[in-house]
Amino acid sequence: MNKFRTQNTVRPTPSVVRKAIFDILQDVEDKTFIDLYAGKGFVGIEALKRGAREVIFVEKDPVLCIFIKNTLQKKKLSQRAKVYNSDAVEFLIHSSQKYDIIFADPPYESGELERLFKILEKKNIVKENGVLILQHYKNESLREKLKTLKIHKCYRYGDTLLTVYRRQE
C-alpha cells in the first residue's frame, strides 16, 4: 500500500514546498493555472492569492471538491476559480485549453505519473512560455522530455521532489 496517499487519505503539500513552488514560478499574476490532483486545493488557492487570472482545480474525490469550493467561497476567490470533480488525465484528454502553469501532485508511487506522461506526450497543453511543475516522490523516475517540454530544473525537499519542465521550441 502507498504510504503517502491511499484512496482515503490526502497528503497536503507542505508549506515549505508550497513556498518553493511560488519562489520557482516567481510571477503567476494574470496567468492561467491548473492544479491537477488538487487535494484540498492549497496550491491553487495560493496561486489565486498571488494574482492568477484563473485557477482550475481538478480533483477526483467529490468530498475534497466540496472542501475546495467552500474554501474558495470563504476566501472570496470563487469568481476566478473552477472546480472539476474528475480524474486528472481524463480532464486533460477532454480539455481544449492551453495553460500558462500546470501543477500536478499525483499520489506518490501510484502509476499516475506515467498516465500523465502519456497524455502530455500526445497533447500540447502548455502555452509558449508556460511551465509544468510535478511534485513527486524521490524514487519516481521521470521522462527527460514530454513533446515540447524538457526538464529545466529539479528541487529536493526531503523525500519530495519538484521537477520543472519548460517549453523548448
Q: Does residue 54 lie in a domain region?
A: yes
- 15 part of a folded domain: no
Is 25 a member of any domain?
no
pLDDT for 9: 57
CA distance 150 to 85: 29
Flag whether 70 is in a domain.
yes
Residue 6: inside a domain, yes or no? no
Domain that holds residue 114: 33-167
What local confidence, expressed as pLDDT, does residue 80 receive?
A: 96
pLDDT of residue 13: 72
CATH number at residue 55: 3.40.50.150
- Determine phi and psi for 128, rounding to 5 degrees: -50, -50
- Domain total for the chain? 1
Per residue of the chain (169 residues), give pLDDT as tens.
Answer: 333 443 445 666 767 888 889 989 999 999 999 999 999 999 999 999 999 999 999 999 999 999 999 999 999 999 999 999 999 999 999 999 999 999 999 988 888 999 999 998 888 899 988 999 999 988 888 888 888 889 999 999 888 899 999 987 6
Q: Are 78 and 57 in contact (CB under 8 A)?
A: no
Cβ contacts of 125 within 8 Å, gap of 6 or more: 92, 95, 97, 98, 99, 102
- Does residue 28 form part of some domain? no
Instruction: Determine the pLDDT at residue 6.
Output: 39
pLDDT at position 130, please?
A: 92
Give the pLDDT score at 10: 66
Q: What is the pLDDT of residue 3?
A: 34
Rounded to an integer, what distance in angstroms lies between the CA atom of residue 104 and that of residue 44?
A: 11
Answer yes or no: pTM beyond 0.95. no
Residue 5 lies in a domain: no
Closest CA to 155 of 165, 168, 145, 167: 165
Q: Are 113 and 161 in contact (CB under 8 A)?
A: no
Q: Is residue 120 part of a domain?
A: yes
